Amino acid sequence: MMGRSTTLNGFAVRREEDQSRRLVLVRAGAGFFFLVALAGLIWWLLSSGAFEVKRVESGSYRYTEATALEAVFGEFIGQNIWTLASDDIAAAVVALPWVRDVRVLRSLPNDIQLDFREWTPLLMVEPITIEGRVYDRLVLLEDGRLLSFPEHLLLPALPVLVGVRPVRQGDDPTLRLPVELTSQLLELIFSIEDAGLESTHPVDFVVARSEGFAIVLQDEQGSLLVGREEFGSRIQRYMTARDHVGLGLVYDLRFKDRITVREEY
């Protein structure tokens, strides 16, 4: 198709087609140089020593072993801050036993900052012997794992879990409680907290029995039989009636809308 022409001093001049071609060439050249510059910038960012990680920092922590944490941090030193994936950094830190979750922040040009939470012990576990080894500092975490409480810390004043047998899953050396038992225990622990039981009647032991769980109160104030379900309503029933019953008794809360009381035996 012929391009349109204009008349200048009596001569026909074909202009529009030439201008369009030049414009296309200029744009193509500009795009090419932009891509070259962008590629050069990316190459510099990914290869320059200016972006090598020199420092990894974390907030305060309590249970995690310092040497193990420093060893993980050491894996990141010297790597390019742009090529280190946040997911990979988080996975390496969360692999430490006490780390629950982590948030990764980059501080250009050389620093990585980690903000992580640790698991909180919920119960102590009575001393047990497994394969000839004595475990006397085990604590239960919310995910069902049993970890040895750090030796450099004083044992926490937590209720002691009695009457359970830890298990291992496959080749995993970590001790755990059976899944069903873990879910029941978590529900029980949170029900104790919600009812405010420990604020008035501190708990000494949580005992796993064939008929369900028993909560043994400190200073021989008695035991609560709560079975394996509806812990919240059962504990609340005791909290409502506690001023009207004697101390040092067994309070059976497993039957709806009533408390059966008997002496300890």
**What would the pLDDT profile of 139-155 be if each residue is shown by its tens digit?**
999 988 999 999 999 99
Tell whether the model's pLDDT for residue 232 goes beyond 60. yes
Task: Name the pLDDT band for 17 (thresholds 50, 70, 90).
Answer: low
Tell whether the model's pLDDT for residue 16 goes beyond 70. no
Are 228 and 128 in the same domain?
yes
- Residue 102 has what pLDDT? 94
Are 167 and 248 in the same domain?
yes
Domain contains 137: yes
Q: What is the CATH number of the domain that holds 54?
A: 3.10.20.310
Are 39 and 149 in the same domain?
no
Are 159 and 85 in the same domain?
no
Tell whether the model's pLDDT for residue 191 goes beyond 80. yes
Domain contains 6: no
> Domain tally for the chain?
3
Are 83 and 171 in the same domain?
no
Domain contains 56: yes
Q: Are strands 249-252 and 222-227 parallel, antiparallel or unpaired?
A: parallel
Q: CA-CA distances (angstroms) from residue 52 to 47, 49, 106, 110, 184?
A: 9, 5, 12, 6, 48
Domain contains 3: no
Q: CA-CA distances (angstroms) from residue 56 to 67, 111, 167, 249?
A: 14, 6, 36, 56
Over residues 181-194, the mean pLDDT reads 94
- Residue 19 has what pLDDT? 65
Are 111 and 127 in the same domain?
no
Domain contains 1: no
* CA atoms 243, 244, 246, 248: torsion sign: negative
Task: Name the pLDDT band for 95 (thresholds 50, 70, 90).
Answer: very high
Which of 118, 153, 179 is where one domain is finished? 118
**Residues 118 and 102 sit within 8 Å (Cβ to Cβ):** no
Which one is predicted more confidently, 94 or 49? Answer: 94
What is the rounded CA–CA span in Å between residue 223 and residue 261?
A: 10
Are 89 and 135 in the same domain?
no
Which of 85, 118, 151 is where one domain is finished? 118
In this prediction the pTM is 0.77
Tell whether the model's pLDDT for residue 101 goes beyond 70. yes
Which of 69, 96, 118 is where one domain is finished? 118
Q: Which range among 33-47, 75-89, 153-167 shows the weakest confidence by mean pLDDT?
A: 33-47
- Residue 1 has what pLDDT? 45
Are 112 and 158 in the same domain?
no
Are 55 and 42 in the same domain?
no
CA angle 217, 158, 61 (to 5 degrees): 160
Domain contains 63: yes
Cβ-based neighbour number of residue 123 at 10 Å: 24
Cβ-based neighbour number of residue 191 at 10 Å: 19
Domain contains 7: no
Highest mean pLDDT range out of 48-52, 127-131, 194-198? 194-198
Are 232 and 250 in the same domain?
yes
Q: Which range among 31-40, 93-102, 236-245 shows the weakest confidence by mean pLDDT?
A: 31-40
Q: In whole numbers, what is the pLDDT of the chain averaged over residues?
A: 84
User: What is the domain range of residue 210?
Assistant: 123-263
Are 141 and 218 in the same domain?
yes
Domain contains 175: yes
Are 207 and 241 in the same domain?
yes
Q: What is the CATH number of the domain that holds 259?
A: 3.40.50
Task: Name the pLDDT band for 173 (thresholds 50, 70, 90).
Answer: confident
**Residues 203 and 192 sit within 8 Å (Cβ to Cβ):** yes
